[in-house]
Structure formats: structure tokens, C-alpha cells
């Protein structure tokens, strides 16, 4: 094996493995280094997303929803089920099997595209050299024309609730629980907290989410956030806002461990609540520990993010960084597209990425999804806009599927009618919002969407009607009265 490459990628998560595959497809001799090990101690690709993030959490979300729907939703369909049972270990095993299938799939893609897969740790040295330590401890120095850093992120720990991987767990531990906790606490009501809280709420836990911020889903459109909070609360999630956790104490209660959480409520009063398990979901931070030699020439900020320009180039010539380790939202699809952009720029193309059109999704049920600007952002910027919305309760397809909660909200420029944003809470929101993203990429107007023919009956018709409503042309709901 030669130690010289055109491209070395450090990290084989969605940003890294996609970059490596694309670089190899473009004729560049490419190697990809990954430190992740599975439960058997074997090196595997896929990073956080495939191993303990996006994929396993969606597997559990899907399994838990099927269980909850059978238990609570089928009676109205005229379907009766006797002796419903729950096998949590089997559910966890199914999740593990899916992870194994997909991580093995990446190894197959590497072979098919000629990517050299290296398991171990990579450290960037000066002069585009990489110190590679394999999983047996052997060390060698690799050289490359270009190095791409894609080391991702890890959960943030907080001193007031130190993770012990038994009673106080992080998002990774929440994917491995072998039984349903009777009382489950979640610190943080963001994307990860809501998704994990939803899983165990559906399976029978009493779930309380403690969120320090005063606003629910502050990054989302406020109208959509309010609707989502109403729906999730009705499902049984107890969301306590403006609650700052000040301490956690693990105690033994007759041989059973539990955790006493102390927090300040929105009035500043001290409150306490006891849980069987506590999940800490207060965000993630870039993973750069031991990655950069002092003389490698790559700079980071005080939070550990690597400085890059609009095209993901660092200040060190020939060194790039993509994904969670750089600015912007920590989203797998954002990192993947950055990986493609960087590979193509290394190959000499002038590829650029449109950061204004990156969908964001929360995989609760119903899903919450958005792309583009919110009303609040446009108001703050002083940009003229108009908005239209359509409730799923007016969608024949949604009602037929017993999915009538939520709505689609479309926002367009008040003068040009160009679509500026789309925000959805409702069935298949993750897929529906992509229709708006495609339209936005091509500069479509709300009128353009309104003039298209949508299949009937489909959930997509809600996007069509929301676009019509922007200009007071909706058919299946009353339009706003003209002033």
C-alpha cells in the first residue's frame, strides 16, 4: 500500500464517506480514515449518523410509532388486536441489524469506487501529512495533495448532570435502553430531545422535557412551533420551558437507582423531580480533540469549530473541513453536500453550495420540517413578505390516513412572489418540504406552485394549497379577506 494519496479524508460519517466516494469517482486516489468501532471492537464506517444518530433513532421512532398506533390508533379503523406485547430488546436488535446493514454497505461502496478504507485515528500534521494510528497501535505517516477533515461532533456534557452511562445517559445511551423507564427525564427540548422523548413516551414512559430557553423550538417558525408544541403535548410529552437544571443526584431507592433533578422554573423558584432515567440532550460540539498538530496551520474558534471559507477551505493550503466540525447547522445532509462540493473543487470544478436552502427536520410524529426563512427572520430583516397556510384537516388524503393534525405554511416575497420559505408540521413533512426546496432552488414563485397539477388525493396537495393561499387563491379553505 502506497502512503501517498491525492485525497485523505479523516472521518467516515455522512460528510466524510460521501466526500471520499465522490473524490474516487472523479479519478483521485483516495483514502478514508475512521476511528469508530462497533460493539465487537471492529472498525466500521458511518460515523455518528449511521451508528448512534440519524439511522438508529429513526429505526426506534418507527418501531415505537407502530406499537403506539396498534395500541391507540387501530380501533377507529375497525381493527382489534388482542394480547399486544412489547419486546424492547428485540426492538433494539432490529435497530442494530439496520445499522450493520448500512455500515457494511459503505464498505461495499468504498470497494466499488476504489476508496482505501483505513480504520484507526488520523492526526493532521504540517505540510498536508497525516499521522495514521491503526486499531492495533501501529503508526505511520501518510501524505496527500489534499486533506479533508470530517470528524463530526459529539454530545455536550454538562457539569450539573454528569453522564454515568447508567442512570444519567446521553443520546447514545438512550438508543440502547433494554426496558421502558417508568419516569424519563430529558434535559433539552430540541431536535434530539424531542425525538428520543417521543420514542419512550410511545412505549409507555412518563416523559418530562426540561428546556432552558423560554421559546419552544426557537429556530423554527413560531406559528409552526406553537402548533407542534400543542400536538406533542396532547401526545403526552410534558414540555417545561424556561427551566434551568442546577443539579442531579443519583440515589439508591431500595436497590433501584433513580435520579433527583433540581431546576429553576420560569419564576426563578427551585423545583425538584425524580426520574428512573435522565437523558442529557443539550446539543453537540465539534470533535477535534487530538486531531490537529500545533503546526498544521488549521485554526479553530473557542468552541472547537474549524475556520473555513464559503467553499470549506481552511486557512492551510490544501486542507479542507466539512460537516459538523465547521460552521452552520449540524445536519448529515448539509455535511454530505459539503463533501461533494469539496471533492469536486479538488478535482478542478467550480462547484458551490446553496446554504440558503438546507431543509431541517424533526422526526417526531407528525414530523416538523422547514426550509428557507421564517416570518420572524424576515420581519427582523425588514424584507416584505406574504404568507399562506393550509391545514391538514382540510386534506382528504390526510384524513383518510387519520393524519389530520398540523399545517403547511408558505412564505413568498411580497413584491416578486418568489418563495422564501416553507414550514410544515404534519404527515410526511420531511418529504413534502423537499418539494418547496426544489422550487426555491429554481427560483419559483408561489404562483408557479399554484399553477402546477398535483395528484389527488395526496398529501402534496397541502403544499399546493398553501402556495395558492399566499395570494388568496386557495380552493379548499376560505381565503383571507382583502383589506
Residue 144 has pLDDT above 80, yes or no: yes
pLDDT digits (tens, 9 = 90+) for 356-373: 999 999 999 999 999 999
Residue 422 has pLDDT above 60, yes or no: yes
Average pLDDT (451-462) is 98
pLDDT digits (tens, 9 = 90+) for 296-310: 999 999 999 999 999
> Residue 307 gets which letter from DSSP?
P
**If pLDDT is split at 50, 70 and 90, which confidence band does 1 have?**
very low
pLDDT digits (tens, 9 = 90+) for 391-413: 999 999 999 999 999 999 999 99
Please give the pLDDT value at position 482: 63
Residue 334 has pLDDT above 70, yes or no: yes
For residues 96 and 130, state if they share a domain: yes
352 in a structural domain: no
- Residue 156 CA, distance from chain mean position: 15
Between CA 399 and CA 395 the distance in angstroms is 6
Residue 163 has pLDDT above 50, yes or no: yes
For residues 309 and 393, state if they share a domain: no
Average pLDDT (68-92) is 94
The chain-wide mean pLDDT, for the chain, equals 97
121 in a structural domain: yes
For residues 272 and 294, state if they share a domain: no
Count of domains observed in the chain: 3
**If pLDDT is split at 50, 70 and 90, which confidence band does 336 have?**
very high
- What residue numbers bound the domain in which 15 lies? 4-155+285-346
For residues 266 and 305, state if they share a domain: no
- Percent residues over pLDDT 70 in the chain: 99
Residue 94 has pLDDT above 60, yes or no: yes
For residues 180 and 71, state if they share a domain: no
To which H or E segment does residue 170 belong? none
356 in a structural domain: no
To which H or E segment does residue 123 belong? strand 116-124
Residue 321 has pLDDT above 60, yes or no: yes
Please give the pLDDT value at position 2: 60
CATH number of the domain within which 402 lies? 3.30.390.30
Q: What are phi and psi of 131, to 5 degrees?
A: -85, 115
479 in a structural domain: no
For residues 151 and 42, state if they share a domain: yes
- Percent residues over pLDDT 90 in the chain: 97
Q: Strands of 188-308 (E only): list them.
A: 206-210, 238-240, 244-253, 256-264, 270-275, 277-280, 284-286
> Residue 478 gets which letter from DSSP?
P
Q: Which SS3 state, helix, strand or coil, does residue 366 take? A: coil
Residue 483 has pLDDT above 70, yes or no: no
Last residue within a domain, chosen from 243, 259, 282: 282
Query: Distances in Å between the alpha carbon of 457 and those of 116, 146, 398, 436, 477?
Result: 48, 51, 9, 19, 16
Please give the pLDDT value at position 174: 97
Locus of grid cell 453537540: 284
For residues 304 and 276, state if they share a domain: no
Q: Which SS3 state, helix, strand or coil, does residue 232 take? A: helix
Calculated CA dihedral for residues 208, 214, 217, 220, nearest 10 degrees: 170
Residue 39 has pLDDT above 90, yes or no: no
pLDDT digits (tens, 9 = 90+) for 177-226: 999 999 999 999 999 999 999 999 999 999 999 999 999 999 999 999 99
10 Å Cβ neighbour count for 34? 28
Q: Which residues are the active-site residues?
A: 456
User: Is 459 exposed, middle or buried, given 0-12, 13-18 or 19+ CB atoms closer than 10 A?
Assistant: buried
For residues 372 and 445, state if they share a domain: yes
For residues 15 and 148, state if they share a domain: yes
Amino acid at each position: 500500500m502506497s502512503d501517498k494519496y491525492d485525497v485523505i479524508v479523516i472521518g467516515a460519517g455522512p460528510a466524510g464517506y460521501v466526500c471520499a466516494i465522490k473524490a474516487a469517482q472523479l479519478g483521485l486516489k483516495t483514502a478514508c480514515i475512521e476511528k469508530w468501532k462497533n460493539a465487537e471492537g471492529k472498525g466500521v464506517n458511518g460515523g455518528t449518523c449511521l451508528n448512534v444518530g440519524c439511522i438508529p433513532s429513526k429505526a426506534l421512532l418507527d418501531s415505537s410509532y407502530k406499537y403506539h398506533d396498534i395500541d391507540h390508533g387501530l380501533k377507529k379503523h375497525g381493527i382489534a388486536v388482542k394480547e399486544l406485547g412489547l419486546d424492547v430488546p428485540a426492538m433494539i436488535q432490529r435497530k442494530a441489524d439496520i445499522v450493520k446493514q448500512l455500515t457494511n454497505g459503505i464498505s461495499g461502496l468504498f470497494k466499488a469506487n476504489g476508496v482505501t478504507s483505513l480504520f484507526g485515528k488520523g492526526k493532521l500534521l504540517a505540510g498536508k501529512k497525516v499521522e495514521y494510528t491503526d486499531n492495533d497501535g501501529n503508526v505511520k505517516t501518510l501524505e496527500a495533495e489534499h486533506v479533508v477533515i470530517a470528524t463530526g461532533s459529539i454530545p455536550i456534557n454538562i457539569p450539573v448532570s454528569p453522564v454515568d452511562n447508567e442512570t444519567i445517559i446521553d443520546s447514545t445511551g438512550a438508543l440502547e435502553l433494554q426496558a421502558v423507564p417508568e419516569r424519563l427525564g430529558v434535559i433539552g427540548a430540541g431536535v434530539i430531545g424531542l425525538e428520543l422523548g417521543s420514542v419512550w413516551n410511545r412505549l409507555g414512559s412518563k416523559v418530562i422535557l426540561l428546556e432552558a430557553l423560554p421559546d419552544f423550538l426557537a429556530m423554527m417558525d413560531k406559528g409552526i412551533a406553537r402548533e407542534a408544541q400543542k400536538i406533542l403535548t396532547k401526545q403526552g410529552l410534558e414540555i417545561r420551558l424556561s427551566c434551568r437544571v442546577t443539579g442531579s443526584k443519583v440515589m439508591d431507592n431500595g436497590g433501584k437507582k433513580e435520579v433527583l433533578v433540581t431546576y429553576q422554573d420560569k419564576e426563578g423558584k427551585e423545583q425538584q423531580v425524580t426520574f428512573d432515567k435522565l437523558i442529557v440532550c443539550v446539543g453537540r460540539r465539534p470533535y477535534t480533540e487530538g486531531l490537529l498538530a500545533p503546526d498544521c496551520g488549521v485554526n479553530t474558534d473557542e468552541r472547537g469549530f474549524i475556520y473555513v471559507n464559503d467553499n470549506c477551505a481552511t486557512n492551510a493550503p490544501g486542507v479542507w473541513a466539512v460537516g459538523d466540525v465547521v460552521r452552520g447547522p449540524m445536519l448529515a445532509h448539509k455535511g454530505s453536500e459539503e463533501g461533494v462540493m469539496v471533492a469536486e473543487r479538488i478535482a478542478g470544478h467550480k462547484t458551490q453550495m446553496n446554504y440558503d436552502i438546507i431543509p431541517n427536520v424533526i422526526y417526531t410524529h407528525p414530523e416538523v420540517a422547514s426550509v428557507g426563512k421564517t416570518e420572524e427572520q424576515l420581519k427582523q430583516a425588514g424584507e416584505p413578505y406574504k404568507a399562506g397556510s393550509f391545514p391538514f384537516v382540510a386534506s382528504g388524503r390526510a384524513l383518510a390516513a387519520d393524519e389530520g393534525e398540523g399545517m403547511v405554511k408558505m412564505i413568498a416575497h411580497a413584491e416578486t412572489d418568489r418563495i422564501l420559505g416553507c414550514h410544515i408540521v404534519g404527515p410526511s413533512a420531511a418529504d413534502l418540504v423537499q418539494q418547496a426546496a426544489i422550487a426555491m432552488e429554481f427560483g419559483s414563485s408561489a404562483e408557479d406552485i399554484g399553477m402546477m397539477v398535483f395528484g389527488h388525493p395526496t398529501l402534496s396537495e397541502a403544499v399546493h394549497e398553501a402556495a395558492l393561499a399566499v395570494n388568496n387563491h386557495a380552493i379548499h379553505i376560505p381565503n383571507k379577506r382583502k383589506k
